């Protein structure tokens, strides 16, 4: 029987790239709280002694970006006094704006996409979250590391950290955990013996409660040894550099567009959320065990240039029949996506850490279109 090992990475909220993502999304949320029609593309770079916020922002009143940065840094666990904060933002290009802000249109849903892009959404029946098991396990570890640090359950942890989980699959089914890697920043006085004991007892035991490691699982905790200097003081952070952490861990293709700091006119974000929603509803409807949906957009054009559905041979229905059902049930125009998920509200800092998918409170994680899809597929046969 064919066996394959899939490895997936996650990072804590103190990872320098994730700090930048959180600041970008915090700026976006602050703008939307002021003006639901704000146009935001916010990028952040953080390095030792310097943090730069840049991008294009059009809003009725600019929020206090410097204060937003400081609050986000404190929330993560960093001291904002350690960096000089520079804010370099300007308004969105009018050439882009004309494609997505056209009041003369009779149908507001015909407003075009804010950029071109190929977006992918995926779902798998192998976990309750409808995500690949290694994704779920890796995110659990980094979430638990963060919670243990913030709550004080584990003493001597610092914000930066990573996890990686390798799972053996047999005939597309996860059968065992092959390897686990955890690297966490720590106080100078914390010994490696104490750190390994705490991570195993407080973090890993809970993370693998429902899919346990076995006696042959290899576990590496801070395999390089000491990890005292971390975060942006040791490694420059950038918005949008953790694409696989944000999505599906490399299980499927990625169009290349990042999410954080972008308002919903940018289909890199809203289109990816819709593609995930469609794929998840196909799986939750029992129409497939695995599903990949791709949407392809052109800047200034409302309707996708192309839509594809791939169920990897796990559906009783032809993929073309499923595609017809998708086109009948879902309106894939960017303005329709924004209205359907109510994306012009400040919800984006909820998405920043531990993946943008698999969180039941988010609107694109609902299964409320499953019955409609079932009926549409039956009609399309």
CATH 3.30.300.10 fits 117-126+266-380, yes or no: yes
Question: Do you know the residue count of the chain?
Answer: 381
- What percent of the chain clears pLDDT 90, i.e. is strictly above it? 85
Q: Is 200 exposed, middle or buried, given 0-12, 13-18 or 19+ CB atoms closer than 10 A?
A: middle
The reply to whether 3-7+132-228 and 117-126+266-380 are identical in fold is yes
Ramachandran quadrant class, 342 (left: phi over 0; alpha: psi -120 to 50; beta: rest): left
User: Do the beta carbons of residue 227 and residue 188 sit within 8 Å?
Assistant: no
User: Do the beta carbons of residue 312 and residue 251 sit within 8 Å?
Assistant: no
Q: What are phi and psi of 54, to 5 degrees?
A: -135, 165
Kindly report the pTM of this predicted structure.
0.94
User: Do the beta carbons of residue 247 and residue 356 sit within 8 Å?
Assistant: yes
- Supply the pLDDT for residue 104: 47
Q: Is 78 exposed, middle or buried, given 0-12, 13-18 or 19+ CB atoms closer than 10 A?
A: buried
User: Do the beta carbons of residue 32 and residue 63 sit within 8 Å?
Assistant: no
- Supply the pLDDT for residue 110: 60
Q: Which CATH architecture has domain 3-7+132-228?
A: 2-Layer Sandwich (3.30)
Could you read off the pLDDT of 197-248 as tens digits, one per residue?
999 999 999 999 999 999 999 999 999 888 989 999 999 999 999 999 999 9
SS3 content of the chain, % helix, strand, coil (to 5): 35, 25, 40
User: Do the beta carbons of residue 50 and residue 238 sit within 8 Å?
Assistant: no
Q: What are phi and psi of 203, to 5 degrees?
A: -100, -60
The parts of the chain modelled with pLDDT lower than 50 are 104-106
Spell out the SS3 assignment of 94-107.
HHHHHHHCCCCCCC
Q: How far apart are CA 358 and CA 253, in angstroms?
A: 18
Q: Where are the domains of the chain?
A: 3-7+132-228, 117-126+266-380
């Amino acid at each position: 029987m064919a066996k394959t090992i899939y490895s997936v990475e996650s990072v804590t909220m103190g990872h320098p790239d994730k700090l930048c993502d959180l600041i970008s999304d915090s700026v976006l949320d602050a703008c939307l709280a002021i003006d639901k029609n704000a146009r935001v593309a916010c990028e952040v770079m953080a390095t030792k002694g310097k943090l730069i916020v840049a991008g294009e922002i059009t809003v009725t009143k600019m929020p206090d970006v410097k204060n937003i940065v400081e609050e986000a840094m404190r929330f993560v666990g960093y001291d904002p006094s350690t960096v000089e904060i520079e804010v370099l933002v300007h308004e969105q290009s009018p050439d882009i704006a004309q494609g997505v802000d056209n009041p003369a249109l009779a149908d507001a849903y015909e407003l075009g996409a804010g950029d071109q892009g190929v977006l992918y959404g995926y779902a798998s029946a192998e976990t309750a979250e409808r995500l690949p098991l290694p994704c779920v396990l890796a995110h659990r570890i980094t979430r638990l590391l963060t919670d243990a640090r913030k709550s004080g359950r584990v003493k001597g942890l610092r914000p930066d950290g990573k996890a990686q989980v390798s799972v053996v699959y047999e005939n597309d089914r996860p059968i065992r955990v092959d390897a686990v890697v955890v690297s966490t920043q720590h106080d100078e006085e914390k010994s490696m013996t104490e750190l390994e004991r705490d991570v195993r007892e407080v973090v890993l035991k809970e993370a693998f409660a429902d899919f346990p490691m076995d006696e042959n699982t290899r576990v590496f905790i801070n395999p390089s040894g000491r990890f005292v200097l971390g975060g942006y003081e040791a490694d420059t952070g950038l918005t949008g550099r953790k694409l696989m952490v944000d999505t599906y861990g490399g299980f499927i293709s990625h169009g290349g567009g990042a999410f954080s700091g972008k308002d919903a006119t940018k289909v890199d974000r809203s289109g990816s959320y819709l593609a995930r929603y469609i794929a998840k509803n196909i799986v939750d409807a029992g129409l497939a065990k695995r599903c990949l949906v791709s949407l392809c957009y052109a800047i200034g054009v409302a309707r996708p240039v192309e839509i594809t559905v791939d169920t990897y041979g796990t559906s009783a229905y032809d993929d073309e029949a499923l595609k017809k059902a998708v086109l009948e049930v879902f309106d894939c125009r960017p303005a329709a996506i924004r209205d359907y998920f109510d994306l012009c509200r400040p919800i984006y800092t909820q998405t920043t850490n531990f993946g943008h998918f698999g969180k039941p409170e988010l609107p694109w994680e609902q299964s409320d279109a499953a019955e409609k899809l079932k009926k549409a597929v039956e009609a399309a046969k």
